[in-house]
Amino acid sequence: MTGYERIQAALSGKRADKTPIMLHNFMMAAREAGYTMEQYRNDPKIIADTFIRAVEKYQYDGITVDIDTVTLTGACGVPVDFPNDEPARSHEGLLDSLMDVEQLKPLRIQTYKYVDIWCEAVYLLKQHFQQEIFIRGNCDQAPFSLATMLRGTENLMLDLCLEPQERVFALLDYCLEATTQFVSLMKGAGADMISNGDSPAGPSMMSPEMYQTFALPYEKKVCDWSHQQGLPYLLHICGNTDIILDDMISVGADVLELDYLTNTLVAENKMRDRVAFAGNIDPSGVLALGTPALVAEKTEELLRIFQDNPRFILNAGCAIPPTTPAENLETMIRVARDFEYPLK
């Protein structure tokens, strides 16, 4: 099977010939290819070359095309900082209050330089790999996460408690427009799957009730929009998501990418026959800082949990640090490739 076929098998609940592997390794891949993040983020050909080299070296199945977590933020007008060898970041919101939402400029995110670069990189990778490797076009932030960046995380969390809900929803509607525009552009670029992160919506930041009110409905809308484009959808939330797993499943996503802090046994049981699981090796404590023996142990432990569940895609629980030793990533992939699933 090709890498593309392995990922598709996991999405449809069919056993692939080998464990499907879709890495979130853009920082590590850029460093190994000899590029700074400044070079990487500014040239779609460099982004494509970065992943082509990584696939050739590690022989994995699915590419997560990512640049940073603030591209939509910048497209909405928030000031963004561009370190030379780290992903871009923002430090403060754009809105002094929710009353300022009506002053936000109309959105055409394709006019923002880094949106265009991101989509062109997806196009180049799809042209290169065709149906050999699965291309996941990450669309930066889901609406709630984007809203925390426009308003400032602490400010928005206070707004959820103190402001009329309709004002919060007005901001979320604006952010939904930005996210769905990115999904449409990714569709045009040729992505095989859409994904978003919504980590500020997780239990470490807000209650399950607030998640259900403010984040979940907008995750569903983005997921529905992706499906209308004919593309499967993946949702990622960092941290321990045990208490919102049922809600996350209700989004309708084809894949949930879960952090290592989430109880994998609980997640596998709840998600079985409903949605594919992507993850969830600890990217820092195991992949970046662990020994090859620890990587092998944790990888096999995870594979055994999913040994009779084909809706599984191996990955780290979040973005793989750039300092990760190649030997550790090679070990994770080797263990996965050599793992023998029980015969039915």
pLDDT digits (tens, 9 = 90+) for 263-289: 999 999 999 999 999 999 999 999 999
pLDDT in tens, 73-125: 999 999 999 999 999 999 889 999 999 999 898 999 999 999 999 999 999 99
Q: If you average pLDDT over residues 8-30, what whole number do you get? A: 97
Domain covering 3-259+275-338: architecture = Alpha-Beta Barrel (3.20)
Rounded to an integer, what is the distance from CA 111 to the centroid of its chain?
Answer: 23
Write down the pLDDT at residue 196.
Answer: 98
Write down the pLDDT at residue 221.
Answer: 98
Q: What is the pTM of this model?
A: 0.96
Cβ of 126: how many Cβ atoms within 10 Å?
20
Cis? peptide before 280, omega within 30° of 0: yes
Write down the pLDDT at residue 343.
Answer: 64
Write down the pLDDT at residue 105.
Answer: 87
For a pLDDT cut of 90, what percent of the chain falls above it?
Answer: 97
